[in-house]
């Protein structure tokens, strides 16, 4: 039986279809792809049909690929996400901007949005703009001298009650939900590319999105809020 670490598993939820894609890490290709069309009014998620879809395919996937489907990344093609944008700033007193300044502002953004996001799970957090003394930058201006340093930060999150419904269905098949992705966000990063969405997600996780912030789970042993900033804290 193959190790689970050899696979990345995606459950794609759309108002018009359900889809499972299994990506093999070492082979660097999709080794299983199944899709079923659905018809549901008001673009709502039909959890009964989702349950049936999983029932018809989970064991088939495990037998065909010879591994246990224990975890999955949820990709949602729907407008049920909550988007929140915030600007945070600090007086830098003419000093050079450092990683500590960046980390301070990102923690400040988290602190100021805590109440608004308390009933949601953040799927994506990214920096939309850096501003130094009213000059805008799309990259981290490390070591630039500034009096005022500010960030425009965006959060994309999913309400907890929706997540619990997905977890309830997946639990029946002993599948753990390891991540939640907004497909609208992914496609906004690669608007002119026709590749499978799993390829885009793989690119994002590899760090091609320079201003993406990777959030660390609450039970992480490491201190601090952020695991890393792609290309920023290398």
Q: Who contacts 119 (Cβ-Cβ below 8 Å, separation ≥6)?
A: 159, 160, 161
- Asked if the model's pLDDT at residue 225 lies above 80, the reply is no
pTM over 0.75: yes
Give a yes or no: residue 192 inside a domain: yes
**Which residues in the chain belong to E strands, given as ranges?**
7-13, 17-24, 29-37, 71-76, 82-91, 120-132, 135-137, 148-159, 176-182, 212-215, 226-229
Structure tokens at 80: 């049920």
Give a yes or no: residue 144 inside a domain: yes
| 172 shares a domain with 148 | no
CATH code of the domain covering residue 57:
3.30.420.40
- Asked if the model's pLDDT at residue 229 lies above 50, the reply is no
Give the model's confidence band at 216: pLDDT under 50 very low, under 70 low, under 90 confident, else very high: low
Torsion 173-28-188-42 (CA) sign: negative
Q: What is the pLDDT of residues 74-107, one digit of tens each?
A: 999 888 999 999 999 999 999 999 999 999 999 9
What CA–CA distance (Å, rounded) separates 177 from 118? 19
| 129 shares a domain with 93 | yes
Number of structural domains the chain divides into:
2
Q: Is 12 exposed, middle or buried (0-12, 13-18, 19+ CB in 10 A)?
A: buried
Range of the domain at 153: 82-157+221-229
Q: What is the pLDDT of residues 48-58, one digit of tens each?
A: 999 999 999 99
Structure tokens at 75: 């990709």
């Amino acid at each position: 039986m193959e190790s689970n670490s050899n696979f990345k598993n995606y459950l794609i939820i759309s108002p018009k279809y359900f889809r499972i894609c299994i990506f093999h890490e070492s082979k660097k290709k999709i080794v299983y792809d199944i899709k079923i069309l659905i018809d549901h009014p008001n673009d709502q998620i039909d959890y009964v049909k989702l349950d049936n879809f999983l029932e018809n395919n989970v064991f088939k996937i495990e037998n065909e690929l010879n591994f246990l489907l224990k975890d999955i990344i949820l990709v949602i093609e729907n407008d049920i996400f909550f988007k929140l944008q915030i600007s945070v700033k600090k007086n830098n007193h003419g000093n050079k901007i450092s990683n500590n300044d960046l980390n301070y502002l990102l923690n400040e953004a988290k602190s100021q949005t805590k109440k608004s996001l308390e009933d949601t799970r953040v799927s994506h957090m990214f920096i939309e703009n850096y501003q130094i003394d009213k000059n805008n930058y799309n990259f981290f201006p490390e070591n630039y001298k500034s009096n005022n340093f500010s960030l425009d930060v965006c959060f994309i999150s999913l309400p907890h009650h929706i997540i619990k419904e997905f977890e309830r269905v997946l639990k029946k098949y002993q599948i753990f939900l390891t991540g939640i992705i907004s497909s609208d966000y992914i496609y906004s990063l690669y608007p002119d590319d026709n590749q499978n969405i799993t390829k885009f997600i793989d690119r994002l996780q590899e760090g091609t999105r320079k201003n993406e912030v990777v959030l660390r789970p609450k039970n992480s042993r490491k201190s601090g809020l952020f695991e890393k900033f792609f290309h920023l804290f290398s």
